[in-house]
Structure 1
Amino acid sequence: MNRPGPAETAFDAGSTRETLRVAELLRKETVGGFLLVGAAVVALVVANSPLKDAYARLRDTVVGYAPWHLNLSLGQWAADGLLAVFFFLVGLELKRELVDGELRSPRTALVPVVAAFGGVAVPALIYLAVNAGGPGVHGWAIPTATDIAFAVAVLAVVGSRLPASLRLFLLTLAVVDDLIAILIIAVVYTDRLSWAPLALGLVPIAAFGLLAHRFADWFAVHGWAAWAVLLPLGIIAWGFLHASGIHATIAGVLLGFAVPVHRGRTPVVGDDGLAGQFEHRFRPLSAGFAVPVFAFFAAGVDIGAGGTFTDALTDPVGIGIMAGLLLGKPIGITATTWLTLTLSRSRLGPGVRWPDVIGVSVLAGIGFTVSLLVAELTFADDPARGDHAKIAVLTASTTAAVLAAALLYVRGRVSGRR
């Protein structure tokens, strides 16, 4: 029997440039993951303390200009406004992966892309099976997301001895997962669509992209230029998309895609391109402020009110979410990875074993940020069931983090002894 060649090997470490880029990104996401978890813990503590009424009043305080449909609560501003920054970074990372990363090559993209789809489809099917015919059936998208920041934070703590290719696999899978989540939010959670604001919103997006491409060198050299020129265009685009009925975070994704990956005509040795420059500048704003503030307002559930925690764990919505994240994610990712490798007659890369893949697939069961957002969108008119969904997301994400940490820690110790 002939041994598979390099072209038939999955989970390769990738080029040195790509490995260094991923390592830097993972370090940044690790810090953001710890801040995210910290904000969620603070929210839960405050929401279950004597300060819970003050917390609720703060979250529900409405500010903004009503004629422009911008009279939103602070919680809504965090979900619709601040998360647009997070999704802008997602758009940048997606484009960089498509142009310079693992997704540019069908051979390297095949396994993580198929695994991502498996990790979305199986949790959704499990949720639908549990909630078939029930009032919460439309929440099927809640357990389909993976929180890259939270997952990477866990991986950084327990997975230092694991192969670098596994980290690359997790990152690529999560990027594709985010793309699917974005499409779901754009299509499923658009109840009404106003064409005039949508058309007007495309104008500043086009201007944003035109300026970013035409003056890529200038924006890369002058740090203030993006804040003074591009940011106002981004805010205008966000406002029009919000008025159109499409979830306003989609504006962030479109703007991220509008940024060129490479600089202009001037080659600069060691330069990471304009998308890399913007990612470096704006990621601290996303990881250090936008996402933690969203988590603070979204995760504050009074789990002791009238048996809320028990009700959440027995509600078909909660059961479907937890089963989707804790069972659907690992089953979907592992099964589709195995099937893809089998059909393509490939094998795992050097140092990678199936327990490693299973550990990473369990880690992908950490839903958190996008799952909480989808829960808010799904049950905006049913706060009680929305609280059940959030409790299920928090419980399943925490459980997935603990289980994955244990699996990856044991695997790391075993790999270290070899």
Structure 2
Amino acid sequence: MNFSTFLRRVSEGGRRPRTDRTLRFDRRLRTVLVTETRGAAVLLVATVLALVWANIPGGGYETVWHTEISIGFGHAAITEDLRHWVNDALMVFFFLLAGMEIRRELSLGALRDRRAAIVPIVAAIGGMAVPAVIYATVTIGNPAQNAWGMAMATDIAFALGVLALVGPRCPENVRVFLLTLAVVDDIGAILVIAIVYTEAVHVVALLVAVALIAVAVAMRAAGVWRATPYFIVGVALWVATYESGLHPTIVGVVFGLLTPAFLARTADLDRLDRIMKRLRREPGPEAARALSIAAQGSVSANDRLQYLLRPWTSFVIVPLFALANAGVALSPELLARAVTSPVTLGVFFGLVVGKTVGIWGASAAVVGARLGRLPAGVRLGQVLPVSAVAGIGFTVSLFIAELAISDDRTRDEATIGILAAAVAATALGWLLFRLPSRRRRDREPTELRPGTQPTGEHGRGPAGAPVELVQFGDYQCPYCREAAPVVAALVARHPDQLRYVWRHLPLEDVHPYARRAAQAAEAAAVQDAFWPMHDRLLSADDLSDEALIELARAAGLDVRQFASDLDTAIVSAEVDADVRSAADSGADGTPTFFLNGVRVDGTLDDVTAAVERSLDTETP
């Protein structure tokens, strides 16, 4: 059952137990999507408040944001107005979060798999290049032509907020595709800010900054994990970068990229179990502290910092940035200028038209040439409205406008274009999402890809059976464990007519032992003992490495050979092949069943009924 179907059934009042497909979205990814979506509402309020405040006669909008603040010691001080402290200091945390998201996607996410990554990468490049070309073309001869970076950006918070308004017409995987695309977009924006909008570089300060980065790298290599030393180095690096002429927000990106990202490791979780047992036996402060340290060490610093920082950036820092930068006095004179201003028109058409054409065109080209694939559940028809929604540039567009345009009048014209583009992109995306639903519905893949083979599959029942049931499963999934006796009963009742095939889909985001267990099953298959090991894995409470060895011994395996095979590339490749099959078949949760090559959605009772109907049809 796919996620959108699950949501629809819940909204209709149907009772359906949660599957691990929904659980996977309930963890880190759901936190990101929900936080960013809710942050969009706060950001919208801040934007409206900025516009209202800026248009109140005598409201003092510019006076407040031009208030100068000095921070330093003695004669060594940095003096900037309040707006620049928000843009140059607080926004470091926004870019820190962007850097950490980039690092995680490169280490664990969609950007790790070349075929899965190439579509959002090329789409993001198209979504940056086409808008930049449109803006540069419209503003030929204008002093603000170099501000083409404004038209490249995507505001992920506003974009996800719009997709939330679309509701069930936008499946979760489409939102994830936009999130991945926005990560690549962030990389482009960061490079543009660092390379294009740096006026002069002071070599000595830059060398100090490089040395401080080396210190941070050395601290990480030495295993320093406490935040305080990194904070001290980070503040010094911010000052050095500020003095070098580079924009100091680059500091956030650098630290984000240095923040390690990894899934919970089996050894770390085993250590937690041992410390917990010790704490139960001998409760005391020493064991409690060891447990706390071990618990933090089992979760990557990347995930921990994102969890802590994302609410602050979404609900405080970015809205404060909008409050400081989105306020424009909307006089008749300004609006009259904006209608014909090349800057306004360039950024407007760059974001609204350029993003839509660039992202969708690049995606269609890559998919059409079979150079890459869209994520499971995402169709080209759904990429078009997502491309339009990506035209909401807002936060980074305003940020680049502040860097690239020194003239206040021209910057106001650019702000009008950015705000108008956000409204137009929202309307266009909403319209494009609604139109296809009246003519046709883009569906997830429902066919098993690739189909099963007579040999080389883990199957029970004759290879030539008239009915074939394929399950994508996870050995830690409680719903797969519930399904096991039901499937076994089906096979036992129809030994000659039904073939049952198992394919691996370890959900590593929520089940840290699942991948290792899948490899254990494949290692047992080397000794022709897949099914004895399979049955034990589905009933085992403990799937640690020590427990896997005991399960292998109980299954009658050569334990030494099993331990050796467990870590081989061949065994890992078998699991990877099944995971790719799941992605190509649209299976993103467990258990997912395919009956005679077609996916069956619903409860276990629905699957059982479908199998029985097929058997009745095939029986003479």
Short-chain TM bin: 0.7 to 0.9
Q: Which residue of 1 aligns with 2:256?
A: 256
Structure 1 residue 30, shift from structure 2 partner: 1.0
* TM-score, scaled relative to structure 2: 0.60
Identify which range, 55-64 or 15-24, moves more after superposition: 15-24
AA of the residue aligned to 2:150? I
Q: Which residue of 2 aligns with 1:123?
A: 131
Distance 1:268 1:64 in 2: 48
- Give 3-state SS (helix, strand or coil) of 2:78's partner: coil
For 1:203-242, what per-residue CA distance to the aligned partner results, in whole angstroms no more than 9, with x for missing partners?
A: 33333343345446xx4xxxxx42x332222111111101
412, 422, 427: which one pairs with 1:402? 427
Q: Which residue of 2 aligns with 1:281?
A: 308
Identity of aligned residues (%): 38
- The 8 Å contact of residues 161 and 416 in structure 1, kept in 2 or not, is answered as no
Structure 1 segments (4+ residues) deviating >4 Å: 14-20, 65-69, 263-266, 269-272, 345-351, 409-418
Identify which range, 351-360 or 239-248, moves more after superposition: 351-360
For 1:103-155, what per-residue CA distance to the aligned partner results, in whole angstroms no more than 9, with x for missing partners?
A: 11111100000000000000011111111122221111111000111111111
Distance 1:296 1:415 in 2: 40
After superposition, residues 7-406 of structure 1 pair within 5 angstroms as: 20-52=27-59, 54-65=60-71, 68=76, 70-215=78-223, 219=225, 225-226=226-227, 228-262=228-262, 267-268=268-269, 272-304=299-331, 307-344=333-370, 351-380=377-406, 382-406=407-431
Structure 1 residue 65, shift from structure 2 partner: 4.4
The Cα RMSD (Å) is 2.7
Structure with greater helix percent: 1
For 1:273-297, what per-residue CA distance to the aligned partner results, in whole angstroms no more than 9, with x for missing partners?
A: 2101111011122112111111100
In structure 1, runs of 5+ residues without a counterpart are 1-13, 220-224
- The 8 Å contact of residues 330 and 362 in structure 1, kept in 2 or not, is answered as yes
- Give 3-state SS (helix, strand or coil) of 1:146's partner: coil
Q: 1:30 to 1:358 in 2, by over 3 A?
A: same
- Give 3-state SS (helix, strand or coil) of 1:393's partner: helix
- The 8 Å contact of residues 159 and 409 in structure 1, kept in 2 or not, is answered as no
Distance 2:203 2:97 in 1: 26
For 1:20-54, what per-residue CA distance to the aligned partner results, in whole angstroms no more than 9, with x for missing partners?
A: 533321111112222112111110010011343x1
For 1:149-193, what per-residue CA distance to the aligned partner results, in whole angstroms no more than 9, with x for missing partners?
A: 111111122133423321121011100000000000000011100
Structure 1 residue 313, shift from structure 2 partner: 2.6
Distance 1:368 1:157 in 2: 18
Distance 1:369 1:183 in 2: 16
* TM-score, scaled relative to structure 1: 0.87
- Give 3-state SS (helix, strand or coil) of 2:417's partner: helix
In structure 2, runs of 5+ residues without a counterpart are 1-20, 271-294, 445-620
Aligned residues: 394
For 1:305-324, what per-residue CA distance to the aligned partner results, in whole angstroms no more than 9, with x for missing partners?
A: x5112212310010000010
Identify which range, 163-172 or 83-92, moves more after superposition: 163-172
Distance 1:247 1:49 in 2: 32
Q: Which residue of 1 aligns with 2:539?
A: none
Structure 1 residue 383, shift from structure 2 partner: 0.8
AA of the residue aligned to 2:355? K
Distance 1:229 1:160 in 2: 46
- The 8 Å contact of residues 162 and 411 in structure 1, kept in 2 or not, is answered as no
- Give 3-state SS (helix, strand or coil) of 2:143's partner: coil
Q: 1:20 to 1:395 in 2, by over 3 A?
A: same
Q: 1:207 to 1:282 in 2, by over 3 A?
A: farther
- The 8 Å contact of residues 158 and 412 in structure 1, kept in 2 or not, is answered as no
Distance 1:350 1:253 in 2: 30
AA of the residue aligned to 1:322? F
- The 8 Å contact of residues 379 and 442 in structure 2, kept in 1 or not, is answered as no
Identify which range, 22-31 or 359-368, moves more after superposition: 22-31
Distance 1:80 1:355 in 2: 39
